[in-house]
Amino acid sequence: MPRHSFIKSLVFSSFILTSLAGRGPVKHPKPYHEVSQLSSDNSIGFAGSTTTDHLNPRQEKTVDGLTSIDTFTYKGETWTAYEDITRFDGQLVLVSASGTRREIKRYVEASTDESVSINRTVDAYFGLDPANDVNLKQNDVLAERLLQDGEPIEEHVRDIIGLSFLPWDVYLGNVQANDTMALGWQSMTKNYAPWNDMLEAADGTHSNYTFDGLLNGWMPASRKIYRGLVDTTDWVDITAFADVDSPDPDIVHIWFSIKYVKGGVLRAQKYALDYKQFLPLKAHPTADDYYPALMRFADYWDSHVKDEISLTLPDMS
């Protein structure tokens, strides 16, 4: 490269970097699906957000004994998000300033052998050697043991064998996209690793005791709990769901909520959309982005299953 071309390139690069460094305060980018709405509705936006510093633990309990964890603006009205952070299967309650209330139930099941062992009701394989005493037998040894006293006990059926482990265990998506996004056991996609943004809990103790569930028990939204090894009040909560407003036919965009709870206190909280932040060009979304997206997600899937057939069970008497 000629010397003068190299100097011109160097000067141009320096100018770009200086310009970026000299920019004003970072503005959180509007989600692509809200741009047209914001141009005609000035009541929705990030200015004047009531969200406070997530790193400061909050203990304001005002709704049914739940803890206020964040505030956000939705359709020009202030909402507050409440959770029961004394247990990781407590509900999420969203309450507006006018009193509108929305509740999202959050069920979780043990998803590692260590988690199952906490409430295990029967020894795995009834204490038998799975290779020689179960797998090599021609008869179904486990089924016979479960049925020997009549109808099997559900908890015994659940706990009789260990859990299988797969690298990808949840697939997220929406109706309009032609693909899905796989979520790994650490709540990672191919684009984003939420644990990299939760350094407050990066002590290596949140991997053995994990619990998985779907919001409301059926919605395609993953919620994973990573409990500490010893302290049962210490866990990381990662919720992920697909952006239902996205018109993208090829890529499913994923919202994340990452919380760190210890001792009944919310120690840290982050939100993400698709990728890690890259300042000053891309900042993490805020509660004003995440919770409205969650509410639209719930409405979206409710509308898509409103025509379901009611289940009628036979009379067991």
Within this chain, do residues 177 and 239 fall inside the same structural domain, yes or no? yes
Within this chain, do residues 126 and 259 fall inside the same structural domain, yes or no? no
Decide if 10 is inside a domain.
Answer: no
Within this chain, do residues 106 and 125 fall inside the same structural domain, yes or no? no
pLDDT in tens, 11-46: 455 544 444 444 444 444 444 333 333 232 332 222
Within this chain, do residues 202 and 286 fall inside the same structural domain, yes or no? yes
Within this chain, do residues 227 and 181 fall inside the same structural domain, yes or no? yes
| Segments forming the whole domain that contains residue 127 | 120-159
Within this chain, do residues 100 and 127 fall inside the same structural domain, yes or no? no
Q: What is the pLDDT of residue 119?
A: 80
Decide if 13 is inside a domain.
Answer: no
Decide if 288 is inside a domain.
Answer: yes
Within this chain, do residues 155 and 85 fall inside the same structural domain, yes or no? no
Buried-state track 110-140, b at ≥16 Cβ within 10 A, e below 16: bbbeebbeeebebeebeeeeeeeebeeeeee
Q: Print pLDDT tens along the chain (317 aa).
A: 555 565 556 545 554 444 444 444 444 444 433 333 323 233 222 223 333 333 333 334 556 788 999 999 999 999 999 998 888 888 899 999 999 999 999 988 888 878 878 888 888 899 999 999 999 999 999 999 999 999 999 989 988 887 776 655 789 999 999 999 999 989 999 999 999 999 888 888 888 889 999 999 999 999 999 999 888 899 999 999 999 999 999 999 999 999 999 998 999 999 999 999 888 888 999 999 999 999 999 999 999 888 766 778 888 76
Within this chain, do residues 102 and 200 fall inside the same structural domain, yes or no? yes
Q: How far apart are CA 50 and CA 75, in angstroms?
A: 15
Decide if 86 is inside a domain.
Answer: yes
CA distance to 123, 143, 148, 161, 163, per residue, from 127 (Å): 5, 14, 16, 10, 16
Domain count along the chain: 2
CA distance to 151, 152, 171, 312, per residue, from 315 (Å): 17, 19, 36, 9
Within this chain, do residues 153 and 187 fall inside the same structural domain, yes or no? no
Phi-psi domain of 216 (left: phi exceeds 0; alpha: psi -120 through 50; beta: other): left
Q: Which run of H or of E encompasses 109?
A: strand 109-110
Tally the residues of the chain.
317
Within this chain, do residues 147 and 74 fall inside the same structural domain, yes or no? no
Decide if 57 is inside a domain.
Answer: yes
Within this chain, do residues 255 and 174 fall inside the same structural domain, yes or no? yes
Decide if 8 is inside a domain.
Answer: no
Q: How far apart are CA 291 and CA 83, in angstroms?
A: 13
Q: Which backbone phi and psi does 142 adopt, to 5 degrees?
A: -65, -45
CA distance to 112, 120, 127, 165, 232, per residue, from 159 (Å): 12, 6, 12, 15, 21
3-class DSSP state of 294: helix
pLDDT in tens, 262-288: 998 999 999 999 999 888 888 999 999
Within this chain, do residues 184 and 71 fall inside the same structural domain, yes or no? yes
3-class DSSP state of 292: helix
